């Protein structure tokens, strides 16, 4: 892989990371609800899911997935239902004061670190749009006359580093708005906005088509 190829991939990875999607919505949601520090667990899970998608695309399994109507639809339905369930859970999240603090501002109870990581992982790992995109994009940056694994590792490290920065930026920007969501009514409205967005993204996945199929 040449330096020019890598720079081109960096630009492409930045565009991919900044583009709105389920990962961005989740990062903003958790940043606003729990703060940047706790949202870092969610973002760590997003990177683990991204690495799995990159591995699937790099190993050629993604091409097989796109070639199989049944396999593709299974992944699509699972991913869509998961995001809808995630959005519904946020919509119905309980809101209350911080335990042990009188007159404390309202807060949405934060899940455990492990649950936040798992939520992020499943959000990216079950996203068929991510697999489609990586299968289409990744081969353009891989030189066939060089060993595959080192190139995949470089691309994966680059992609995850960029995505980490972008997702933390989304979480930070959202967390800076926490002062406007200190009462239960405003926090419930926030949960319903982000819950609705996650459900909308999940519903949109039902309309994703395999490569080469009609829209």
Residue 102 is predicted with a pLDDT of 45
Report pLDDT digits (tens) over 75-115: 778 878 887 887 888 787 776 554 444 444 455 667 899 99
Residue 10 is predicted with a pLDDT of 92
State yes or no: pLDDT of 66 exceeds 50.
yes
CB 77 within 8 A of CB 90: no
Q: Cα-atom radius of gyration of the chain, to the nearest Å?
A: 19
Among 144, 138, 140, CA closest to 58: 138
State yes or no: pLDDT of 46 exceeds 90.
yes
Report pLDDT digits (tens) over 181-211: 656 676 677 778 878 887 887 787 787 676 5
Say how many C-beta atoms besides its own lie within 10 A of residue 196's C-beta: 14
pLDDT band of 213, cuts 50, 70, 90 = very low
State yes or no: pLDDT of 63 exceeds 60.
yes
The sign of the CA dihedral 5, 6, 7, 9 is positive
Domain boundaries, the chain: 24-205
Q: What residues does 106 pair with on adjacent strands?
A: 97
CA 67 to chain centre: 24
DSSP H or E run through 206: none
The DSSP secondary-structure symbol of 92 reads: T
Weakest-pLDDT range from 40-44, 85-89, 113-117, 164-168: 85-89
Q: pTM higher than 0.85, yes or no?
A: no
Q: To the nearest whole percent, how much of the chain has pLDDT over 90?
A: 25
3-state SS, residue 20: coil
User: How would you class 102 by CB atoms within 10 Å of its CB: exposed for 0-12, middle for 13-18, buried for 19 or more?
Assistant: exposed
pLDDT band of 212, cuts 50, 70, 90 = very low
């Amino acid at each position: 892989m040449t330096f020019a190829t890598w720079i081109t991939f960096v630009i492409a990875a930045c565009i991919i990371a900044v583009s709105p999607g389920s990962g961005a919505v989740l990062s903003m949601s958790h940043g606003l609800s729990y703060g940047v520090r706790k949202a870092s667990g969610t973002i760590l899970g997003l990177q683990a899911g991204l690495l799995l998608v990159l591995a699937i695309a790099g190993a050629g399994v993604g091409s097989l997935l796109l070639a199989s109507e049944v396999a593709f639809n299974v992944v699509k339905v699972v991913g869509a239902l998961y995001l809808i369930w995630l959005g519904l859970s946020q919509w119905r999240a309980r809101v209350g004061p911080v335990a042990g603090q009188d007159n404390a501002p309202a807060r949405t109870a934060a899940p455990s670190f492990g649950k936040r990581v798992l939520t992020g992982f499943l959000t990216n790992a079950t996203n068929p749009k991510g697999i489609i995109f990586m299968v289409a994009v990744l081969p353009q940056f891989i030189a066939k006359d060089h060993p595959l694994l080192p190139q995949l590792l470089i691309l994966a490290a680059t992609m995850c580093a960029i995505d980490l920065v972008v997702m933390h930026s989304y979480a930070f920007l959202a967390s800076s708005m926490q002062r406007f969501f200190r009462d239960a009514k405003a926090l419930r409205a926030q949960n319903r906005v982000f819950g609705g967005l996650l459900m909308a993204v999940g519903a949109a996945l039902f309309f994703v088509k395999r490569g080469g199929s009609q829209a």
